[in-house]
């Protein structure tokens, strides 16, 4: 039994498959378990989109930095926000406080309007989207939708209409508890400890790269921590040790996807890099007894192409469960027959996918919370030994993230080894002058399809 916050899940059945009190808990949830998107500051909220297909999002957006009329008092309020913005892990000098002071001294007019609008727009961009530009975000493939829900022009118009510059900027900060924890750590970090302060700033910025609100229910795995958590209302209700990609070509990328289904007793179609490249297909064709013993079904097409599909069973490379979360990287969360590896401290061992301990337990929880299944239904599916896909009827996002300073699964703020050496580029971007936002929304790095769970 695990209890964190106000949520309780009971696990009482044999084989580590049980879920009991989760049934009543799941039944009380609304059909769409994600909250409506936060409305743009200057406009009424729009209806929440249906939780079926993901929206088509442009790879690049036009820059939105309007010039509007500012009073001297409003500009002074903006200057005060800039001078205190280090509390948010940002750099006051980035927003040209000296130029803003000079414009304020000169009084109302075009010069003040231009400078205040520019300083405010830059501050909005960095608080909403992060200061680090895409060329410094290694293997970052998450598209942040906050620029649509809170466009710069709308934030600026509302801030001036409400005469509340500090409130408009503060409203852009991430809602995840980790951001507040890092902000608190920055407040007490000695000025002389530049390394710690920089590490805090880097990881605060990573939270700004994400949507401000992650949703009511979500899965989040922090790759350097080797942990996955099931989260409700920003409270961890269950956590799982993970195995992630080896450093190098098979490092796990940073993604935000939607779980569309849970597959129990999955099959595994072996990639051609193994079937042909490593000669597995030819070996199994020549040795049907070995293929049967190891659970492979082998076919050869008229054009000579060999297809190898590993059937469900205890030796399947995907184990007994995988989360169906379609993405161009072929990354997913799955079980493994090599469960002893979860006892190792360093678990960057896979070809990119994320293996999770107690996978059947996780899959059954997802079936109850995300598909409205009963405990009895999930037990029957799990024990059937047959390939079964349980489609999600509620939107269930999953975030595969990379934080080297974060709260661990016990709520304690700590640091994690930079296993993929991704901190350096972000640190360098903070050390360099601020770059103008170019409208790019995700990494332009080549997508490496990591479809080998072995």
Q: Note the pLDDT tens digit of each residue in 245-261.
A: 999 989 999 999 999 99
Query: What does the alpha-carbon distance between residue 277 and residue 140 come to, in Å, rounded to a whole number?
Result: 29
Range 2-33+216-401: architecture per CATH:
Beta Barrel (2.40)
pLDDT class for 441, splitting at 50, 70, 90?
confident
Condensed to tens digits (0 to 9), the pLDDT of residues 333-370 reads 999 999 999 999 999 999 899 999 999 999 999 999 99
263 and 367 Cβ atoms separated by less than 8 Å: no
Q: What pLDDT was estimated at residue 144?
A: 93
> How many helices (H) and strands (E) in the chain?
15, 18
Please compute the mean of the pLDDT values over residues 121-126 and round it to a whole number: 98
Contacts of 52 (CB under 8 A, 6+ apart): none
Domain locations in the chain as residue ranges: 2-33+216-401, 72-215+422-431
Q: What pLDDT was estimated at residue 453?
A: 59
Give me the chain's average pLDDT, please. Answer: 87
- Under DSSP, is residue 421 helix (H, G, I), strand (E, B) or coil? coil
User: Does 276 have pLDDT greater than 80?
Assistant: yes
Condensed to tens digits (0 to 9), the pLDDT of residues 138-184 reads 999 999 999 999 999 999 999 999 999 999 999 999 999 999 999 99
Q: What pLDDT was estimated at residue 84?
A: 98
Q: What pLDDT was estimated at residue 415?
A: 97
pLDDT class for 442, splitting at 50, 70, 90?
confident
Adjacent-strand bridge partners of 391: 261
For 37, other C-beta atoms within 10 Å of its C-beta total: 19
Condensed to tens digits (0 to 9), the pLDDT of residues 37-62 reads 334 333 333 333 333 344 456 677 77
């Amino acid at each position: 039994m695990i209890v964190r916050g106000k949520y309780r899940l009971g696990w009482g059945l044999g084989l580590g498959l049980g879920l009991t009190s989760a049934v009543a808990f799941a039944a009380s949830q609304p059909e769409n378990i994600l909250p409506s998107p936060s409305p743009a500051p200057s406009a009424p909220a729009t209806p929440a989109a249906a939780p079926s297909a993901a929206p088509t999002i442009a790879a690049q957006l036009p820059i939105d930095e309007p010039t509007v009329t500012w009073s001297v008092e409003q500009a002074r309020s903006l200057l005060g926000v800039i001078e205190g913005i280090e509390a948010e892990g940002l750099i006051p000098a980035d927003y040209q406080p000296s130029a803003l002071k000079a414009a304020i001294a000169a009084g109302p007019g075009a010069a003040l309007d231009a400078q205040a609008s520019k300083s405010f727009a830059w501050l909005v961009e960095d608080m909403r989207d992060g200061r680090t530009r895409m060329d410094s975000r290694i293997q970052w493939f998450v598209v942040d939708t906050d620029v649509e829900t809170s466009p710069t022009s709308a934030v600026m118009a509302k801030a001036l209409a409400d005469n509340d510059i500090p409130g408009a900027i503060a409203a852009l900060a991430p809602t995840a508890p980790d951001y507040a924890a890092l902000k608190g750590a920055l407040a007490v970090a000695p000025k002389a400890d530049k390394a710690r302060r920089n590490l805090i700033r880097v990881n605060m910025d990573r939270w700004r790269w994400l949507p401000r609100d992650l949703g009511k229910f979500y899965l989040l795995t922090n790759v350097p921590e080797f942990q996955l958590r099931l989260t409700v209302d920003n409270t961890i209700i269950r956590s799982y040790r993970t195995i992630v990609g080896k450093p190098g070509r098979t490092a796990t990328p940073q993604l935000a996807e939607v779980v569309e289904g849970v597959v129990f007793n999955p099959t595994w179609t072996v990639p051609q890099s193994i079937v042909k490249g490593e000669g597995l297909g030819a070996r199994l064709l020549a040795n049907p007894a070995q293929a049967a013993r190891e659970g492979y079904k082998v076919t050869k097409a008229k054009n000579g192409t060999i297809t190898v599909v590993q059937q469900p069973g205890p030796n399947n490379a995907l184990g007994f469960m995988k989360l169906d979360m379609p993405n161009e990287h072929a990354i997913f969360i799955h079980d493994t027959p090599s469960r002893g590896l979860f006892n190792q401290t360093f678990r960057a061992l896979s070809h990119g996918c994320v293996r999770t301990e107690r996978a059947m337990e996780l899959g059954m929880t997802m079936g109850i919370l995300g598909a409205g299944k009963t405990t009895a239904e999930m037990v029957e599916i799990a024990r059937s030994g047959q390939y079964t896909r349980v489609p999600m009827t509620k939107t269930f996002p999953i975030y595969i993230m990379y934080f080297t300073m974060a709260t661990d699964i016990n709520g304690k703020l700590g640091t994690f080894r930079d296993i993929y050496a991704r901190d350096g580029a972000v640190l360098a971007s903070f050390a360099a002058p601020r770059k103008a936002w170019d409208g790019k929304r995700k990494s332009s790095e080549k997508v490496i399809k990591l479809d080998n769970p072995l």
